[in-house]
Amino acid sequence: MTMLNSLRTPLFHAFNRRFFFGWIILAVTCFAMIGTGPGQSHLIGLYFEDISREMTFLFAVDWMGANRQTAITFAYGGATFLSAFLLPYMGKLLDRYGPTVVLSLVIGGLAVTATLFSLAHEWTVVAIAFGFLRFLGQGSLMLACVNMVSQWFDKRRGLALGIMSLGFPLSMALHPPTCQWLIDSVGWRASWVWLGISTLVLFLPPVLLLAHNKPELHGLKPDGLRDSDSTPIEKQEIWGLTRGEALRTSTFYIITAGLTALSMLVTTLHVFFKGILTSHGLEPQTATLMFTVTGITAAISMPIVGQMLDKLRTDLMFCGGLLVMVASLVSVTFVNDLPSAIVFAIIFGINNGVTMTFFGFLWPRYFGRKHLGSIQGVGQMVGIVGASIGAIPYAIAFDRGWDLDLTLRILAVMPLILAGVALFLRDPKHNTDQ
């Protein structure tokens, strides 16, 4: 640790003399967000067919063998559901130890889990592995990145989170085609070994060398701002509601409901992305390429969405984001050729950009930074519970031979209703002297 600090401290001062160190934090977290790939639906869904074909079963053999899409979706959803309940504890660890320590441990754990996943041969082991991948990659890594950026940026938080979230569409653009190439070249199991090794080698060093918890610990303020306050910066109080206070506001539940719906439906489209498009006549390679279109669109839209959040009313933005989700679900049902697939991929890319930026922006916007980890941990837990069940209705419809397009249109009713509820979003009452 002493040797590591001997590198961290000079690097901090070298960069901070030239510009606000928060921009380095932003670069590190953006890069780390790419590393969430092994825990994201857009990558794991790519393996569903291979996994379901090879796994052995300890129970319900007949049913699971005849309903493999539903079976693997239940395994994936159940694992995601259970892992979600660990996130409040991860939030407490963030508040206690800071995001730097948490990020380092999570990246290491994700790398080990991805590598060991290559050894799974039985359905129960796969479900457990899904749980760790989702908890570490989709949950904890994202939570820690958002927490760190929210500590370093305030007035420009929307823009900062939009830039940080670029890592997600970059993962969407890079991971599926890369892993498809690895699957074709070395098999799906060996591809997970390469995922684990690359996660550790690429994403851990920048965190160890460049990540720092809060600007106040270094005599700085969020956004790099300075004022005439005579109180030492490191001793100034950081405002924020407690978790209990947040849970007593309607704002918390409106945000949670909206983000949960987005998690459910984005997961549905990610998991079945390739299958939906191929069922509408696209070749598998073309369908996979649409992930790249979606990723590029999301990358372009995120900074724009972030700037809009900094300048426009948050309730109207939240309402608009939910309506984009409606458009994504409806537009995919009209895909019948490459141009219409590109239109859907662009709309869904905007949807991903909006969703990812919302996840980071809304919690500190309404509840402050002081207890951000605890509050966001509970909120994200509920969101991931939503993600765990989101794909199940479509999987059941697939195995039962129901109208899949109608299923997606029915699912679109939920964000449509919540878009109206979002207009009732208000700042919770608080005492600024807390």
**What residues form DSSP beta bridges with 368?**
240
Is pLDDT at 61 greater than 50 in this prediction?
A: no
How far apart are the C-alpha atoms of 271 and 164, rounded to whole Å? Answer: 23
> 345: Cβ–Cβ under 8 A, 6 or more apart, which residues?
290, 291, 293, 294, 297
Instruction: Tokens 């890592």: give the residue.
Output: 167
For residue 99, pLDDT beyond 80:
yes
Confidence class for position 434, pLDDT limits 50, 70, 90 = very low
The token duo for 388 is 């765990």
Query: How many CB atoms lie under 10 A from the CB of residue 65?
Result: 11
CB–CB of 373/92 below 8 Å?
A: yes
The residue ranges of every structural domain in the chain are 2-213+238-424
What's the confidence (pLDDT) of residue 44? 83
Least confident of 144-148, 183-187, 386-390: 386-390
* Separation of alpha carbons 262 and 267, rounded Å: 8
- Kindly state the tokens that stand for 121: 């041969």
Top CATH class of 2-213+238-424 equals mainly alpha
pTM comes to 0.70
> What would the pLDDT profile of 25-59 be if each residue is shown by its tens digit?
999 999 999 999 898 877 887 787 787 777 665 44
For 125-138, the pLDDT digits (tens) are: 888 888 889 889 87
| Residues in the chain, total | 434
